[in-house]
Structure 1
Amino acid sequence: MRTRLFVCFSILCLLSLSFFPAPSIAATDKPESLAQLFTKAAAEFDVPVEILLAIGYAETRWMDHQGEPSQLNGYGIMHLAENPQNDSLVQASRLLGVDKEVLTRDIASNIRGAAAVLRQLATKQNQGDVPKKLADWYTTVASYSGLSSKQTQKWYADDVYHFINTGVSRVINGKEVKLKPTPVTPNRGEYNRIDLPVAQATPDYPGARWVAASSANYTTANRESDGNAINYVIIHTTQGSYAGTISWFQNPSAQVSAHYVIRSSDGEVTQMVQNKDIAWHAGNWDYNVHSVGIEHEGYVSDPAWYTDAMYRASANLTRWLCDTYGIPKDRSHIIGHNQVPGATHTDPGPNWDWNYYMSLVNQTGGGTDAIVDNTTSGRFTASGNWAVGTTNVQKYGTDYRYANPEAVSDAAWFKVNIPASGSYDVYAWWPAGSIYNDSTPYVIKTSSGNQSVYVSQRSSGGIWNHLGTFNLTAGDSNVVAVSRWTSGTGYVIADAVKIVKR
């Protein structure tokens, strides 16, 4: 009897395995890190891990967005897409024998799917083989983008190889993911012969390059001259990549456009619709008629896309637009897409720093802000207990300082010359890592006494983080400190601070 029961139980177990899929990575007791998932997929499909990491970073900064699609209907870290130009999601599903829904939500499957598609593209381009050299994957990366023109494919591949050359890192779910700098000169193949398309117009903004949107995506007009004044600048977030957004605005089926698109990494500006014409960006015809739309590369949910280079480039453009068309430089006329009446969009979202942005637009305090790095001569003080670190690529400048947490008065101080007493925004920059402190104290010397702000330096690395708005007293003195006195665990980091007058 026991034998029969055991056999029946065994059969039931086997049947259950047949009808119920294995748990996803997220459901296991010891989930693999994101770095491990990239490494395993690279080995399984014989794709360089540098290629996988750089594509994931270029597409989404290694964030999966929990199954939410981009503006090009792309999913997951690797942006597996399903649209008229790009069927990488469909191809990945076929190659892996995995349902598309799984590929959109399961991180491990998404990365494996991208690796499988890349391998297939590579073998088609190389007579059944995969390239042996990292430099020779360029044309495969360009094809993987699925973008509508060779020019945007080239920009996409150039971005991927830029990240391979410079290296990038982020802390995802408390663990660092790192792409180490790898010097490589890509073999562009046919893309060497692709230059910018012949311009049919010149950009209005002197700092922009011109790439025309499809004429099916905007309304030709003669604004300002025809009585339709330009009264607003509307700030958007692309929900996708820079090259992907440009490609989408070139697609006549998009039925959407903006006047300008700005890249996250360096603030490059591309104009796609002339200022006199009406771009379709606001979701409200009256606001379309009376505004200029600026798209910013990135995703609303991830502040890492909103770089200082992007803020500054966008603020310079917005200031020029305001000066050119007599638009007041205030929050009633420089608005987010979410502020347009009837808007269903939330961009630029809560991670967009309006205080900092408007200070740049208005050039508060003469258009300057004070940045003090730990290497700024005569502006940083720390004892010998603070060691010098250089390895984390998210650092500001050449290095940073770190120390063990301890209940001692041994702070690292940043000295700042405050030109006039008043209200200031205070920012801090640190490289993030799982070994850094989860409750680092920043001490700000205000006009009413010292105030402390606690932050986790395990995340939000490589960007300016807003510590708060404080009343500061005029004078040249130590204003911001990083303290070692904390109950948090991990190294405390002192890298750089920024003070901006409101």
Structure 2
Amino acid sequence: MSSGPAATAGPAASPSALQRAFDRAAEEYGVPGSVLLGVSYLQSRWDGHGGAASVTGGYGPMHLTDARTALAEAPHHSHGAEDARGDSARPARTVTDAALPDPARLPAQLRTLERAAGLTGIPAGELRESVAANVRGGAALLADAQRRLGLPLSEDPGDWYGAVARFSGADDTATATVYADDVFDVIRSGEARTTDDGQRMVLAADPGAAPDRTQAAALGLRTADASRTECPPTVACEWIPAPYEEFGEGDYGNHDKGDRPRSQSVEYIVVHDTEATWDTTLQLVQNPEYVSWQYSLRSSDGHIAQHVPLKDVAWHAGNWYVNAKSVGLEHEGFLVAPDAWYTEAMYRTSARLVRYLAHRFDIPLDRQHIIGHDNVPGTTTATIRGMHTDPGPYWDWAHYFRLLGRPLTPSAGPDSAVVTVRPAYDAHKPLYTGCVRAGEACAPHGSGAVRLHTGPGEDTPLVKDVGLRPDGADSTNGVNDTGARASTGQQYAVAERRGDWTAVWYLGQKAWFHNPRTQPTAVPSRGTLVTPREGLDRVPVYGRAYPEASAYPAGVPVQAVSPLPYTLGAGQRYVAGDRTPGEYLYAPKFDTSVHRVVRGQEEYVQIQFGHRVAFVKAADVRVVRR
């Protein structure tokens, strides 16, 4: 067992004000400094978020939850009106926003700020707004958990395993222990970073920290049913199945039976947010008249519930081609405020799950395959405007890919033909509007997205998206407007460079973004580029890779190969992903005996065309650079 380093480990000459606040709180409540810092890191990575609530109503570096207040202040946003199934061969299955929960019925894990106020005597408002007070509140909760377990306020971090597990708020043993294990991994390895308000924080490594894991048994938590889950051993999973049953006049829900990967390959993992509380999310996915996804992830502690077997096809992405070839991950976020933040606990378990899925299905860990719901293309011109925009510009893709073990680093020289978007998330705070009211500026917030202009200057208009605005109007800086947005990890072909500005090919036009060498928002990269083959002025762009008409057998209706309202012009170049034959899953009925996978001879190439991916016919383009 080890006593561990002091919370002030690091540059002793001048610790930050926040580091000193951790020191004082640890001493006041008798909590080892490394434990307090480790718990806070797993909640928020020590960020205060300017007093803004997380997606589950948590405030400050300790993520003290006051969902009652957060709900009262929360705007309600819709991410669109897409058909979640995305199959024009069947009636639309649309998703409406879930009702916000009754604050009086919120569970205890969403009201920890209230308990912290009682333990410390600090007013709730101060606990929400003052990072120092918030840290004191977190220390008080840890000390209270230790006392309730009948354990002394020991100086040894290892004696606090049970209290850390209790702090997670988890209601099952597996999740509580995974959370505590993560905290002690942070304590053993150490961490250092500059917070969102510019404060340098250091937790020195204590490789000898040895927690007493037997303490978890004293928590009296339930054992979750993990019998049918498909999860890595490093996360806590629970089986809560989505129903496959008939109802109404021949309709059924809320997914399709399949035999993946034997029937179809799995090529994508799609990141969503839930737009509902955890309890509401579970109720919805168990409703046969709703839609489905494979996994839900809880924000407070990273707990995972699986609903649909990986061999089956869930209805989640709004594009049937993508649904048939993807796994959907819903991340809890009921405040539906686009500037709300996600916990480190959820980022970590999500990344572990994605690594497991990528290994299982041989999916590359890149942004052509690990995509947001906001990167899924509309199936036809008519569906583009209704496509969803989650997880939005505040999802930290750079951090996510570091956790995936694939950090987004330069792979070419400064004059590369390809760039990968990668602004410094915490320091990059572009103006967005509409988080609370239309046209009203959102609170400043770190972002992984850059805005694209028609020329090399902030005063030039944003590029147009004729799919979103057929009337030719300019894109806006609205938080849900993806028309002029490139997101971290996405790769684009360079069209021109001029001073601190870089132009890329985007939606059939040159799109400029500020990319100074001193503070770059993109890194030079390598990639395969395609352009229209010789003799073609323009080639059509598609939102799905469906087979040619001659490939369909008798009894399977031919699906239209419908181009989107965009074209790829001669001389333009786009970063290419997979090359694949056209494919369509015909699954119109509950009776799976009529289901068929139709494959054609026509091949498609996936490209990064705008904020969303798209497809072009391989016969229409040629490779110009690898």
Pick the TM interval, shorter chain.
0.5 to 0.7
In the alignment, the residues of structure 2 paired with residue 116 and residue 59 of structure 1 have an alpha-carbon distance, to the nearest angstrom, of 16
- List per-residue Cα deviations over 1:199-245 (Å, max 9, x = no partner): 43152x8999782343489987551559xx999853235899xxxx9
Q: Which of residues 139, 144, 168 in structure 1 aligns to 2:162?
A: 139
From 362, 382, 391, give the equivalent of 1:347: 391
For residues 239 and 179 of structure 1, the distance between their equivalents in structure 2, rounded to whole angstroms, comes to 34
How far did 1:159 drift? 0.8
Deviations 1:86-135 (A, max 9, x none): 242121111122332332222121111111111111122236x4123211
Give the alignment partner of residue 188 of structure 1, picking from 196, 210, 213: 213
Measure how far apart 1:182 and its partner are.
1.1
Q: Tell me if the contact between 1:338 and 1:348 (Cα under 8 Å) persists in the aligned partners.
A: no
The answer as to 2:231 corresponding to 1:201 is no
Return the alpha-carbon distance in structure 1 between the equivalents of residues 18 and 420 of structure 2: 35
Residue 179 of structure 1, CA deviation: 0.6
Q: Distance in 1 between matches of 2:233 and 2:342?
A: 25
Q: Deviations over 1:280-324 (max 9, x none)?
A: 977x8999987742246999777996999977974884797798x
1:217 and 1:280 in contact (8 A); partners too = no
Question: Is residue 424–residue 470 contact of structure 1 (8 Å, CA) maintained in 2?
Answer: yes
Check conservation: 2:243, 2:254, Cα contact below 8 A. Answer: no
Please state if 1:54 is matched with 2:38.
Answer: yes
1:45, 1:147 → 2: CA distance?
23
| Separation in 2, partners of 1:251, 1:316 | 23
Question: CA 1:47/1:466 → structure 2, altered by over 3 Å: closer, same or farther?
Answer: same
Cα distance change on mapping 1:255 and 1:79 into 2, 3 Å: farther
**Are 2:309 and 1:274 equivalent residues in the alignment?**
yes
In the TM superposition, what is the alpha-carbon distance from 1:421 to its structure 2 partner? 7.5
Contact 2:258/2:313 (8 A) holds in 1: no
RMSD over aligned CA atoms reads 6.0
Alignment of 1:63-142 (within 5 A): 63-82=47-66, 83-86=106-109, 87-126=111-150, 129-142=152-165
For the residue of structure 2 that corresponds to 1:136, the secondary structure is helix
| Matched positions, count | 355
CA distance in 2, matches of 1:255, 1:68: 29
Q: Distance in 2 between matches of 1:320 and 1:130?
A: 44
For 2:160, what is the secondary structure of its paired residue? helix
The equivalent residue for 1:336 is 374
Determine if contact 2:116/2:137 at 8 Å carries over to the other structure: yes
1:152: Cα distance to partner? 0.6
3-state SS of paired residue (2:418) = strand
Equivalent pair of 1:235/1:294 in contact (CA under 8 Å): yes
Q: Which residue of 178, 190, 197 corresponds with 2:202?
A: 178
Pairing 1:153–2:189 present: no
Q: Is the 8 A contact 2:314 2:328 kept in 1?
A: yes
TM-score (norm 2): 0.43
1:226-265 residue pairs with structure 2 within 5 A? 234-236=270-272, 248=278, 258-260=293-295
* SS across alignment from 1:38: helix
Q: Is the 8 A contact 1:64 1:107 kept in 2?
A: yes
Is 1:214 aligned with 2:237?
no
Q: Aligned equivalents of 2:392 and 2:49: distance in 1?
A: 16
Amino acid at match of 1:336: D
Tell me if the contact between 2:297 and 2:330 (Cα under 8 Å) persists in the aligned partners.
Answer: yes
Letter in 2 for 1:200: S
Measured in 1, the distance between the counterparts of 2:343 and 2:255 equals: 38
Question: Would the alpha carbon gap of residues 428 and 110 (structure 1) be closer, same or farther in structure 2, given more than 3 Å must change?
Answer: closer
Contact 2:172 2:223 in 1 (8 A): no
Residues in 2 aligned to 1:45 and 1:164: alpha-carbon distance in whole angstroms: 19
5+ residue gaps in structure 2? Answer: 1-14, 67-105, 246-252, 287-291, 379-384, 428-493, 501-514, 529-624
**Native 8 Å contact 1:221 1:278 kept in 2:** no
CA distance in 2, matches of 1:49, 1:41: 8
Overall identity of the aligned pairs, in %: 28
Q: Distance in 1 between matches of 2:495 and 2:320?
A: 46
Alpha-carbon deviation of 1:156?
Answer: 0.8
Query: Matches of 1:268 and 1:120 in 2, distance apart?
Result: 23
Contact 1:67 1:105 in 2 (8 A): yes
State which of 154, 165, 169 in structure 1 corresponds to 2:192.
169
Q: Residues 236 and 293 of structure 1 are in contact (CA less than 8 Å); yes or no, is this contact kept in structure 2? A: yes
TM-score using structure 1 length:
0.52
Structure 1 position 294 matched with structure 2 position 329: yes
**Further displaced range: 111-120 or 190-199:** 190-199
Structure 1 residues 305-320: aligned runs within 5 Å: 314=354, 317=357
Task: Kindly state the Cα deviation for residue 165 of structure 1 after the two structures are TM-superposed.
Answer: 0.4
Cα gap change, 1:313 to 1:225, in 2 (>3 Å): closer
Choose between structure 1 and 2: higher helix proportion: 1
CA 1:189–1:304 in structure 2 vs 1: closer, same or farther (change >3 Å)? Answer: closer
Any idea what SS the aligned residue of 1:212 has? strand
1:170 maps to a residue whose letter is: R
What is the deviation of 1:148?
A: 1.4
Q: CA deviation at 1:253?
A: 6.2
Query: In structure 1, what is the equivalent of residue 29 of structure 2?
Result: 45
1:21 corresponds to which residue? none
Q: What is the CA distance between 1:258 and its match in structure 2? A: 4.8
Task: Determine helix, strand or coil for the equivalent of 1:178.
Answer: strand
